[in-house]
Chains A and B, each alone.
Chain A
Amino acid sequence: MSLWQKLACVILALVLCGSVAANWLAPAGYAKQYREATDAPPSRAHWLGTDEMGRDRFARVLYGTRISLLLAPAAALLSTLMAALIGGLAGYLGGIWARMAMAVTDLFLSLPWLFLLITARALMPLNVSPLISVMVTFMLLGLLGWTTAARVLCTTAASLRGSDFVRQAQAAGLPAQRLFWVHVVPNLKPVLYAQFWISIPVFILSEANLGILGLGVAEPMPSWGSLLKELEGLVSIGEEPWKFVPLILLVVVVTSFQVLLSKQEEMAA
């Protein structure tokens, strides 16, 4: 592991610990309003100042990090499982199944996913609870994000189907379902792990994009996306630099994931 990869590990561990310890580090919570100090600069009481509604920005960053870092892996897991089921099975079965699965994948890839997300979020009632909005946002990301991984898994499973060890197991009299679960799936695991880890930063960024558009996690619950929305009205970069903390955190975390992913790729190669 290189120095950069060690550093990435430390950064991710610190950010994760900070978000998990949000209740202790910011006991007042993300929603408490300090009406006497709205849009305040950093102080001893509010390390990153407050937003225009008087909520402590430091608390919101910690809680927002928790949501992004816990739910992006959940969305990645959902999309990876769907990719494994659809791509892996289609590749293993081959023939018309593979063609059908790839046609569906092509269809999904050609869909304007941002438009779909906007539509799906728009269909939800306005008074939906923040928790449900979080679940729905990440579920939608997971449901729409399986296609590329499914393509990779379909190709991998197809090559495994023609491998010597699958042929040998067939000749030993193993039924098709045992061949798939016992002989093919364990060999898909490295690809599945890689797809899972690749998806996490993608989903973190996707949620941030949705949040900027006001379509991510509903208020008052914070997420990196909704925190970045604050930057919309910023006139000058040097004016209120503390408002950039969520953006810097997002870039640092996504970069750390990418650095660690390069390690995974090295190991796979």
Chain B
Amino acid sequence: MNFPRRQFLRDLGLSAATLPFLSGLPSLTGAPTPQRRQRLIIMFSPNGTLPQDFWPDQEGENFELKPILKPLEPFKKRTLILNGIYNRVRGDGDNHMRGMSCLLTGTELLPGNIRGGGGNPAGWAGGISIDQEIKNFLQSQPNTKTRFGSLEFGVAVPNRADPWTRMSYAGANQPVAPIDDPHQMLSKLYGRMKDKDSLVSILDDVQADLKRVTSKLSARDKSLLDQHMALVRDLENDLKEADKQSSLPHRIPDIDPSLELVNDNTPEISRIQIDLLVNALANDMARVGTLQYMRSVGMAQMRWLGVEEGHHSLSHDPDTNQDSYAKLLKINQWFAGEFAYLAKRLSETPELTGDDSMLDNTLIVWTNELGKGNSHTLDNIPCVMIGGEKTFGYKMGRSIRLEQQPHNRLLLSYAQSFGHSGLKTFGEPTLCTEGPLILT
């Protein structure tokens, strides 16, 4: 039933005028739900990988992690490495563009005016991305609905909007911008609560001030300020009441307010963003998350790794350039380390329901827009997953080699794991004829 919001408020005896303020008071978590909270986080890093040092040599359960994936060692038994995922989407735009904007949408780019390093100019992706598709599905049902549904995190994403910089789409032509400023994300998540705390802290002083000035006034003027005083008292009581009603299972994280968003602070920002993401999911504000590092063709200078050159330039160098190769190895290892940290934070955080950890119910996926930087191939795009055993049913602790499977099938598989069984194909239907990848 479609229940008109105004009608609902009227029934509660609230006028529309109180609405903006009430909605500012936190009912952040909603009602607790007894079901397992199934979650998906997709992490992106750009410019391809180094296949030799990424893909395990062995298939099956007995495999060894190559140097890039070494940081995942503690989670090896809960890791699934998928080789053979191909981005088969063609059409306008260069490989970086399509690698990025088709990565989660599986659709061709629309015609547009963005010139790439090859191919025709192109525009935004022509369809919704899988994270948003799953979010919409979860938000459509009361027992999986959360305040935000999905959260789009970024780390060091340049402030520009183009097909290299967006992987999430709410629909055709509707890119979703990741938030790469931890302050902005914090205020999106908890801003109103923090404001409320600040407000509570000054209301006593406002009352004292009112009392002081009122004593000097004529009876007639005094009555106005007496009314004012009563309203301030009401506000204080309302805020206290709201406090009682909403206690968060996980406290609001603190962020150094003077943290600057500059390249050299990326390692710190990355950890803060991961902590915020885990915290927000722990407080059940969303069930789907994306974590986007830089952008396709990103030129981050990872000086904290001793790398002065921009990432994308390095990725173009031939494999024989040992210096560049060593640097790219470091860069990709660093991303793996961040991915491992995400897994670690989830594994350390217990679920409120049951005795499992968040990682048991959360599938985290690390992917990339290219298979290899210097060839710009869209074949064998990196795909590593950890966790989610209890809710996704994927068999973990394996390294699998698939036969050139369109990545649309993988995206469809995520959706169906959430019970979104009405979805029969995803993105370009012709790339999905064989249904979802079976990973059980």
> Are A and B genuine complex partners?
no
Contact residues of B with A, CB < 8 Å? none
Contact residues of A with B, CB < 8 Å? none
